[in-house]
Structure formats: C-alpha cells, structure tokens
Amino acid sequence: MSRKGKDAALNKGVILIVFSAILFGTTGTSQALAPEGISSAAIGCLRLIIGGPALLLLTSLFNKTNPLSFKPPFIPTFFAASGVVMFQLCFFDAVARTGVALGTIVAICIAPVFAGLLSAVFHKERLSASWVFASALAISGCIILGSGSGEIKIDMVGIVLAAGAGFGYAVSLVGSKKVIADRSPAVGIAIILCMGALLVIPKIATEDLTQVMTREGITVIIYLGIIATAAPYLLLAKGLSTVPVSHTSIIMLVEPLTGCLLGVLLLGEQFTLTSAAGSSLIFCGLVIITIAKNREQEAV
C-alpha cells in the first residue's frame, strides 16, 4: 500500500475510533433519559442481553467470521464477563446517584489504575513510576470527591459505585487479553458480552420490566444495546485494524469527555469547585498513564 493509502486508512481508523468513543460516552445520558421506574440494574442487564448477541451478529455479517469456530479459554472469558457484569450493575447505579458527568469520569478514568494493579498480579507486569504517580493523582481525586463541599452534595455511595464500575471495567480488560489473543477482537468481545448476558439472566428475572415495555423504554434499551454497545465495539475493532493501540488509548479519552459534556450541557448537571478539582486530578491521572504506556510500547 502506498504512503497516501496508508495515511487514508489511518485517518479512517481514527474517525471510526472517535465515533466509537462518542457512542460509548452516551451511555449514562441514555439512562438519564429513560422513563422513571426502570431500575439501574434492569438497564445494565438488558444492555448486555441485547448488546452481546447484536455484536455477535454484526461481527458475523461484517467481518464474515464464523462464531462457532471461535473457541476462547473458559476461565479468562468468565473472568472478563464477570467484570463486564460488575461494570454494568455499578455504573448505571453510580450515574443515577452522582450524575452522568461525574459518574462517567470516575468510572472510566479510574479503570486504568485497577487495570495496572491486576496486570501486575496476574500478568507480572512491572508498575512504573509514572503509573504510581498517575494512580496517586487519581486516588487523590476520588478522595476529594468523597469529601464533598459546596451547595451540591456529592453522593459518596455513588462515587464508590463508580469506582466499582471502574474495577469491573479493569477486570474485563485484563481477562479479555487472553480471550482475544491471536483471535478476532470483535468476536472475542461479543463472546464475553454474551456470557455476561447469560450471567445476568437470574437478575433480570427479578426486576420489574413494566416501564421497559413502553415505547420510550424500548427505545432506550435498544439504543443502549445496539447503538451504545454493539456498534461502538464494532467500530473500535475496525479502527484497531489500522490505528496502533497506543494511539487508540489516547483517542478513547473522548469517551469520558463526551459523558461529562452531555451531563453538563444536555442534562443541566453542575460541577462544584470540589467536583471539578477531583475530576481534573482523576482525568490527569488517566492522561499520564496513557502517555506513559504509549512510550513503553514505542520503546519495545
């Protein structure tokens, strides 16, 4: 391929990843716009139940792959699926308590800290000085958020749930490494989501789905499952085929920014000085971890 062709492919990949991050970033706002009476747990469970099979179908159609030929290792797949379930259950409850902007920033930006710890334990990866410094910033940000001040009271339970969502996200990342190794990333993620969907069936069976069956409820659930889950995962997989992972991690910072902007601009959420300071520290920690990781990969 010529240099011009490579540049065009790279630009296309970047655009796909940006759109993927934006769609992921609309998740919390979608829940906020759902009819009252639909629990956070029901929304998280239904997102998996729709999103997993939808992604599996899309990957089969667009990537022309046979899911039946995909045989991932069971334990890492179960591990990753459990993390996905934890993220869904904690995240939607967190944003319902803290607001979309704050909940999204804490959940998404604290995840790399947990991912680094888990990778050190399970993959024997070395924790760099940059990671330690960035993690200290992120943890300090969470402490500031938890302290709360000003006219708007910050929900401490919501902050803990958002951090729990970040932990679940990190668990899914670490577990998925072995699932997608030498395999199609899109199909691997689809399998993980489908296993997650199976895990939440007992939970969804106990939920009141009356409001889900309304026109507004169905619209939100379909949007979350297909537009905010299956579609962005497929776009991300397509983008990764031309864009280096090191660049992708920086581009994906668009996700928490999208969630924050939608919360403030569309839902009218407000940031106190405390929440702005805490969120800034968490976000700076994510940026430092991302840049440090990129330098490590470039040095290899």
Written as one letter, the residue type at 250 is I
Q: Which residues of 213-225 are buried (b: 16+ CB within 10 A; e: fewer)?
A: eeeebeebbebbb
* Distances, alpha carbon 114 to alpha carbons 87, 108, 120, 139, 291, in Å: 13, 11, 10, 11, 17
The confidence score (pLDDT) of residue 181 equals: 73
**Distance from C-alpha of 277 to C-alpha of 128, rounded to nearest angstrom:** 25
**Residues 183-242: pLDDT tens digits?**
778 888 899 999 999 999 999 999 999 999 999 999 999 999 999 999 999 898 888 777
The confidence score (pLDDT) of residue 162 equals: 94
The confidence score (pLDDT) of residue 4 equals: 63
The confidence score (pLDDT) of residue 141 equals: 83
Rounded to the nearest integer, the mean pLDDT of the chain is 85
**Distance from C-alpha of 275 to C-alpha of 98, rounded to nearest angstrom:** 10
Q: Which parts of the chain register pLDDT below 50?
A: 149-151
Q: Which helix (H) or strand (E) holds 272?
A: none
Closest CA to 93 of 183, 201, 165, 167: 165
The confidence score (pLDDT) of residue 40 equals: 94
**Residues 62-87: pLDDT tens digits?**
777 777 777 888 999 999 999 999 99
The confidence score (pLDDT) of residue 174 equals: 86
As given in the structure block, the two tokens for residue 290 are 């991302």
The confidence score (pLDDT) of residue 245 equals: 62
